[in-house]
Structure 1
Amino acid sequence: MTTLPERPKTALLVIDVQRGVVASAHERDAVITNIATLVDKARAQDVPVVWVQHSDDGLVKGSDDWQYVPELPRRASEPVVHKNYGDAFEATDLETVLGAAGVGHLVVTGAETDACIRSTIHGAFTRGYDVTLVGDAHTTNDNSAWGAPPPDQVIAHTNLYWRYHSAPGRRAAVTEAGAVTFGE
């Protein structure tokens, strides 16, 4: 139902699952396991897997913390989008990558829920994409010292409001990793 009818395909988006980003993230290992399962499933079904990798002054490109976690090896044929802002579309080639692959539906996983995940799902939705957030395949760190709710509440709230998000001609959805289908 995307507003991009010439793009009937689905892609798996893996956002910022980098060593320094998820080192202390809520339920890190379970989330990474769920993402790894989805990556394997997408590859088996010839669904594009698009990797997003953040860098900024606190996460220096090329550093150990900037590297993706070893549990999620990227294939050389899979695109990586380098970003410097929360929204993976902002000042990147993500739109070009997805357009070339005919993608109008994104299945979103990664980190951090209250920053890059939220920015990207909203950025995709406003650009016309259908967006499925995988409820047990995104995570965040504990930012309660700065006034945020605990991580489990941030994740639960994001899953709740995204489930009911709507706009003309687009679908927002939340599903668990085990129920993800990559059908068009």
Structure 2
Amino acid sequence: MSHAYRRREVLDAVNMLIKRARDAHLPVVWVRHSDQDLVAGSEGWQIVAERAPTPGEAIVEKSYRDAFEGTDLEQVLSQLGVGRLIVTGAQTDMCVRSTLHGAIVRGYDATLVSDAHTTEDMTQTGAPPAEAVIRHTNLYWSKQKAPGRLGGVMECEDVDFALCGS
């Protein structure tokens, strides 16, 4: 995602959230995608150099857009006692959206951090500009809910990890 929209700002926001979660002794779970276009072990597959999991933090390997499909993410979250997800990352219009839906369908509350997800410019394929994709996803997810589960959107600075404890 070296050409992602607002890459530096998004990485800074994600870094702040990771630090705050760790300081609150809450689990940080990493998700790494691979497929025919993003080969496992390649440079693009690596977790961005500006971030690094600490020993003991789970890394879930996935090959579908939804991080729950074909992975052990549910087992990892269950072992950690997690019921509410704070979602960040890339690619907004693919993996982020799919994982948000996967979470709420499986019974998790799922909050999207509005300034901590990004995508690449894919206008050449007919997609809207990255800024519009992000804005629309934030709008779309802001009112998401299902019986007994809530979606929602908040800015990085408003994420209250005190509400995320087990």
TM-score, scaled relative to structure 2: 0.96
Question: Does 2:83 correspond to 1:70?
Answer: no
Q: Give 1:147 deviation, angstroms.
A: 1.0
1:107 maps to what in 2? Answer: 86
SS at match of 2:112: strand
117, 133, 137: which is aligned to 2:96? Answer: 117
> Going by fraction, where is helix more abundant, 1 or 2?
2
Name the residue aligned to 1:84.
63
Q: Provide, for residues 38-68 of structure 1, a one-character-per-residue CA deviation record: whole Å limited to 9, x for no partner.
A: 0000000011000000011111111111111
When the two structures are aligned, how many residues end up with a matched partner?
A: 163
Equivalent position of 1:41 in the other structure: 20
Task: Kindly provide the CA deviation profile for residues 18-55 of structure 1, in whole angstroms up to 9, marking residues without a partner as x.
Answer: xxxx1100000000000000000000001100000001
* Structure 1 moving runs of 4+ over 6 Å: none
Higher strand proportion: 1
Instruction: Name the CA distance, whole Å, in 2 between partners of 1:142 and 1:126.
Output: 29
- Quote how far apart the aligned CAs of 1:165 are: 1.2
Structure with more contact order per residue of length (Cα contacts < 8 Å, sep ≥ 6)? 1
C-alpha distance after superposition, 1:125-164 (max 9, x if no partner): 0001001000000000011111110000000000001001
Residue type at the aligned position of 1:36: N
CA RMSD of aligned residues (A): 0.7
Alignment gaps of 5+ in structure 1: 1-21
Per-residue deviation, 1:166? 1.7
State the identity as a percent: 53
In structure 2, list runs of 5 or more residues that go unmatched: none
Say which SS state the counterpart of residue 65 (structure 1) adopts: helix
Per the alignment, residue 72 of structure 2 pairs with 93
CA distance in 2, matches of 1:161, 1:134: 13
| Whole-angstrom distance in 2 between the partners of 1:91 and 1:131 | 19
Q: Distance in 2 between matches of 1:141 and 1:24?
A: 6
